[in-house]
Amino acid sequence: MSDVRRVWVTGIGLLTPLSGQRESSWQRLIGGQRALRWLSAKDVSLGEWPERIAGGPAAIESAADSPNLLLRMAHSAASEALDDAQLDLAACDRDRLGCVVGTSKGCLRSFARWVRSHADESVDWLASWPSGPAQSLAQKFDLRGPLIAPVTACATGLSSVVRGAELIRDGVCDVVLAGSIDASLTPAMLASFRRLGVLAKGDDDPAFAVRPFDRQRSGFFIGEGAALFVLEAADRARGKSAYAEWLSGGGLGDATGLTQLNADPTALVRLIGDTLRRGGLCTSDVDYISLHGTATAANDDVEARAVIQAFGASARNLCCSSLKGAIGHLLGAAGSVEFAATLLAMRDGVVPPTLNLQDPEFDLDFVPHVARQRRIDVALKLSLGFGGHLVAGLIRRPHL
């Protein structure tokens, strides 16, 4: 592989239900803090809210009152990522600056306001389109290379990073801004997920209701967030620090149903194997897996069995974790936010914990309750989207 085709991650912008900044989000995450709580009518931004629903709104000032929330979140994460990478945009070839940013859906808050008022001139229609944030960022930062807005449901964030890395490896771009945003806390969306039967049940305290990989798991709660990354060709990025080198990534389809995967984990096992093979590594090289871990009965079962089958004897040496007990399911932003946490885990040598795990159903080290110190040289991220989107990404510590 020629040097120019190597891809480094040099910047991260992160906004989660725990905080509106990267480092405070990360410190609260590894500190075991939980963002899930009962939502009020203000949290979902529209009208009366007749019953308590748990979730995690994005931690951004006056977020619930903003008609342009999705764009504000995108601009905040992008600015933080570009500053973190110390990227001098004025010195770049603008035609080789790509933007691959997805949402999985447009800003439902803006659309819901329009439906409610029928004629609200304050509605930003750009924010209501799935391509809105990508277009807005390309315009704001004058990114004239490929402009792409992937839509792969809950795997959108990781799909965006995969595509961004491909643009650099194919020689199309030198730098790509990649990632995803989601702001879906509206009555219609919450009601839809409740009707699908995937929201967590029981528990007087919602902070402890989402239990990935626990025998008593019953589903997830919805949160909002964003994570964007600066991806650079390694030869261009020399002389600056990098979080990781992107080794490989890709996806497969498992369109068994709307919310469930095929009970046979063969497709996910194959994706894991293909990703490792393309990255030139074997199962014993992987130190940490960031799992999708929705805390639904069927999906956790398939994901855990896939890891056990794919890694075989090497599975006993892995650390794995799911973040959804802390921040909820961020839908279109889940893959990017969880990938950001994976990069920060590699940087600091700290594995984030799987919260609320009392009775594990599977024989894997899920790092329950408390973060753990561990050097991470190689990490794998898995994202599983509704409708059968399976996506994986493989990273390692950057080597000169």
Residues annotated catalytic, as ranges: 154, 292, 329
d(C-alpha 100, C-alpha 92), whole Å: 17
Q: Is 69 helix (H, G, I), strand (E, B) or coil?
A: helix
Pairing state of beta strands 97-102 and 147-148? Answer: parallel
DSSP-derived 3-state class of residue 15: strand
Output the CA–CA distances (angstroms, integers) from residue 38 to 49, 203, 217, 295, 350, in the order listed: 11, 11, 19, 18, 30
What are the structure tokens assigned to 232, written together?
């650079």
Q: 335 by DSSP, 3-state: which?
A: helix
Axis-axis angle for helices 132-141, 69-85 (nearest 10): 50
Rounded Cα–Cα distance for residues 325 and 205 (Å): 12
| Angstrom distance (rounded) from CA 306 to CA 273 | 10
> Residue 33 is inside which H or E element, if any?
none
Q: Locate 42 and state its tokens.
A: 């203000």
- Are 384 and 296 a contacting pair, CB within 8 Å? no
Please count the helices (runs of H) and the strands (runs of E) in the chain: 12, 15
Measured CA angle at 141 (ends 136, 147), to 5 deg: 55
Q: What is the four-CA torsion angle of 180, 184, 189, 195, rounded to 10 degrees? A: 60
Among residues 157, 161, 171, 162, the alpha carbon closest in space to that of 95 is found at 171
Query: Are the C-beta atoms of 208 and 144 separated by less than 8 Å?
Result: no
DSSP letter for each residue of 148-207: E----GGGHHHHHHHHHHHHHHTTS-SEEEEEEEE---SHHHHHHHHHHT-B----SSGG
> Cα 387–389–391 angle (5° rounding)?
160
